[in-house]
Amino acid sequence: MSRPNILWYCSDRQRFDTIRSMGNPLVRTPNIDRLVERGVGFARAYCQTPVCTPSRATFLTGQYPATHHIHRNGNDHVPPETRLVTKILQEAGYDCGLIGKLHLARSQGTFEKRTDDGYRFFQWSHHPTPDLPERHDYADWLANEKGVDPQELYAPLMGILYGPGLPEEYSQTTWCTEMAMRFISEKRDGPWMLSVNPFDPHPPFDPPREYLDHYDPSEMPYPLFREQDIERQRAFARVDQQTVEAINPYEAEKGITSEWGERYDGYPGRETPKGYDARKVKACYYASVELVDHQLGRILTFLEERGELENTIVLFHSDHGEILGDHGLLGLACRFFESLVRVPMVVSWPSRFQTGLKSQALVELVDLAPTLLEAAGLEAPGSMQGKSLVPLLTGRTDPHVHKPRVICDYNDALDQPNGSHGTMYFDGRHKSVVYHDQNLGELYDMQEDPGEFQNLWDDPAAAGIKCDVLTRHFNALMLSSGAGVERTASY
């Protein structure tokens, strides 16, 4: 069999609990559901950091953050020794393309500084708003192909967190699909690999009205919250987070006079408002997820019509989650709640991989690069630390066992005054979190307390469990640091 094509679709800030066939009956995801039917859905997939740049660096290098050292959003550049899986695929004969975000280096106010990433086709749009003075391929498409002024189009949406956005025909996610079909249609002799990275469902939560109409806010559940979250959050005042003070989501909507919340200064995704309607936020978020699903479905249908779907690996996941009001918080943080660190993930290649499987195995995004290389018949370099999922995907190993634990870290990742450092360890039952130099930690029994409300860190009755888990936590972190330069002599 010839090497498979690879469609690598990564949404932005999509929570794990947003796939209908994986347990959420309120969201419409027929195309991702179809992928699960044609492949393997992972119920317990974890990012290695709850922030964009270091997470993307992890799944593109197959290395933990402690090894690739790309820890922060806003990095000036990618270290020259960094080797991406896309470059390895390109060297092996793949024609590689990227659409949307790359986000390995700074892109604020300028075109992102690229490394030797292996992408020949490069349609770049870090975010939809047309505020980049240099190249912005999505904004150029709006102006040159759709005949609209990007600045005028987006002006009414600035300063909102949630509400109806642009019509679907103008959305950045639609643009991603149009560019994907152009790339796939190009003539080539060998296989292709395409990274599609839309901004949705990243805030602002502004889906097209036609999708928002599918979700009645009054039918949306409130976020995970108990009154104790308000007091608990005060202990984390010196930990990086975009929401410094927790807000009771049942009370946050009081005093809002506008249907879709008050406008506020700041950029959604970096700052959060003090008042919002939590159920309207969730309705908008689910509608944005449905938009992603629909546009992914267009690509899948296009591949099917071309007769390419059967020999195409389709990988769908997100870079990290979104707290979305849980525990009174919005946005990102040096925190490790499931809504931030657990992501949706589906892998499909029916001609070789198992189908209709919902795996409970602990998996990490660091595993993706070696998985793609093995599936393509290529050897992963020794510098990659992830563990290939191919044995599980092909049925050679237990479909619900992959790793004994997952880890995650935050290393001054956001431009926040505290410059926090935190690490997480989870073995499938107990989750430990250490906020380094803060004398602060968390310990949860996820079997008894899946909502992460009962912090056992200072509970004397849990001291033995805490000691055992922290020992394994320390060991796992040590093993995430690479050995460095290749050894070529015995001394």
Beta strands in 178-290 (DSSP E): 192-197
| Average pLDDT for 310-317 | 97
Rg for the chain, CA atoms, rounded:
22
- Whether the Cβ atoms of residue 199 and residue 101 lie closer than 8 Å to each other: yes
- One domain, residues 246 and 348: yes
- 339 is a domain residue: yes
Count of CB atoms within 10 A of residue 233's CB? 20
Last residue of some domain: 404, 425, 459?
Answer: 404
pLDDT in tens, 26-52: 999 999 999 999 999 999 999 999 999
- Report residue 1's pLDDT band, with 50, 70 and 90 as the boundaries: low
Look at residue 490 in the predicted model and tell me its pLDDT. Answer: 85
- 490 is a domain residue: no
- Which of 70-74, 88-92, 137-141, 281-285 is the least confident region? 70-74
Taking alpha carbons only, the member of 349, 439, 365, 374 closest to residue 403 is: 365
Residues 6+ apart with CB under 8 A from 21: 29, 32, 33, 36, 37, 41, 358
- One domain, residues 150 and 237: yes
Count of CB atoms within 10 A of residue 421's CB? 19
Both tokens assigned to 383: 């510098």
Both tokens assigned to 54: 């270091």
- One domain, residues 251 and 230: yes
- 484 is a domain residue: no
CA distances from 362 to 36, 402, 453 (A): 17, 6, 22
pLDDT of residue 267 exceeding 70: no
- Whether the Cβ atoms of residue 35 and residue 316 lie closer than 8 Å to each other: yes
- 232 is a domain residue: yes
Last residue of some domain: 356, 382, 404?
Answer: 404
- One domain, residues 185 and 268: yes
Look at residue 219 in the predicted model and tell me its pLDDT. Answer: 97
| Residue 305 identity | E
- Whether the Cβ atoms of residue 405 and residue 425 lie closer than 8 Å to each other: yes
Beta strands in 207-364 (DSSP E): 312-318, 342-348, 357-364
pLDDT of residue 266 exceeding 90: no
| Average pLDDT for 296-320 | 98
Domain of 467, CATH number, reads: 3.30.1120
- One domain, residues 397 and 426: no
- Whether the Cβ atoms of residue 226 and residue 249 lie closer than 8 Å to each other: no
- 488 is a domain residue: no
Look at residue 410 in the predicted model and tell me its pLDDT. Answer: 97
- Helices 278-305, 30-37: crossing angle, 10 deg rounding: 60
pLDDT in tens, 315-332: 999 999 999 999 999 989
Look at residue 133 in the predicted model and tell me its pLDDT. Answer: 78
- Report residue 270's pLDDT band, with 50, 70 and 90 as the boundaries: low
SS3 277: coil
- 9 is a domain residue: yes
pLDDT of residue 393 exceeding 90: yes
- Report residue 253's pLDDT band, with 50, 70 and 90 as the boundaries: confident
Greater pLDDT, 93 or 265: 93
- 135 is a domain residue: yes
- One domain, residues 400 and 441: no
pLDDT in tens, 198-222: 999 999 999 999 999 999 999 999 9
pLDDT of residue 64 exceeding 80: yes
Look at residue 2 in the predicted model and tell me its pLDDT. Answer: 83
- Report residue 262's pLDDT band, with 50, 70 and 90 as the boundaries: confident
Both tokens assigned to 368: 């993706």
Euclidean distance between CA atoms 392 and 156, whole angstroms: 48
| Average pLDDT for 293-305 | 98
326 φ, ψ (degrees, to nearest 5) = -60, 135
- Which of 126-135, 205-214, 291-300, 424-433 is the least confident region? 126-135
Look at residue 440 in the predicted model and tell me its pLDDT. Answer: 96
- One domain, residues 357 and 462: no
Look at residue 254 in the predicted model and tell me its pLDDT. Answer: 85
- One domain, residues 108 and 257: yes
Look at residue 485 in the predicted model and tell me its pLDDT. Answer: 83
pTM of the model: 0.97
The burial of 311, by beta-carbon neighbours within 10 Å (0-12 exposed, 13-18 middle, 19 or more buried), is given as middle
Residues 6+ apart with CB under 8 A from 259: 163
Sheet holding 430-435, edge to edge: 406-411, 421-426, 430-435, 440-445
SS3 224: coil
Report the chain's mean pLDDT, rounded to a whole number: 95
Beta strands in 165-231 (DSSP E): 192-197
Domain count, the chain: 2
Last residue of some domain: 369, 404, 439?
Answer: 404
pLDDT of residue 418 exceeding 80: yes
- 22-34 CB burial, b ≥16 within 10 A, e <16: bebebbbbebbbb
- Which of 97-111, 156-170, 266-280 is the least confident region? 266-280
Domain of 264, CATH number, reads: 3.40.720.10
pLDDT in tens, 360-371: 999 999 999 999
Look at residue 170 in the predicted model and tell me its pLDDT. Answer: 98
Q: What range does the domain containing 466 cover? A: 409-479
- Report residue 134's pLDDT band, with 50, 70 and 90 as the boundaries: confident
- One domain, residues 158 and 275: yes
Residue % of the chain over a pLDDT of 90: 85
- Report residue 275's pLDDT band, with 50, 70 and 90 as the boundaries: confident
Look at residue 271 in the predicted model and tell me its pLDDT. Answer: 62
pLDDT in tens, 148-161: 999 999 999 998 89
Euclidean distance between CA atoms 21 and 31, whole angstroms: 10
Look at residue 268 in the predicted model and tell me its pLDDT. Answer: 52
Beta strands in 273-356 (DSSP E): 312-318, 342-348
- Under DSSP, the state recorded for 317 is E
- One domain, residues 99 and 135: yes
Residue % of the chain over a pLDDT of 70: 98
The burial of 412, by beta-carbon neighbours within 10 Å (0-12 exposed, 13-18 middle, 19 or more buried), is given as middle
pLDDT of residue 108 exceeding 80: no
- One domain, residues 450 and 351: no
- 63 is a domain residue: yes
- One domain, residues 394 and 421: no
pLDDT of residue 184 exceeding 60: yes
Q: What is the DSSP string of 346-374?
A: EEE-TTTS--SEEEEEEEEGGGHHHHHHH
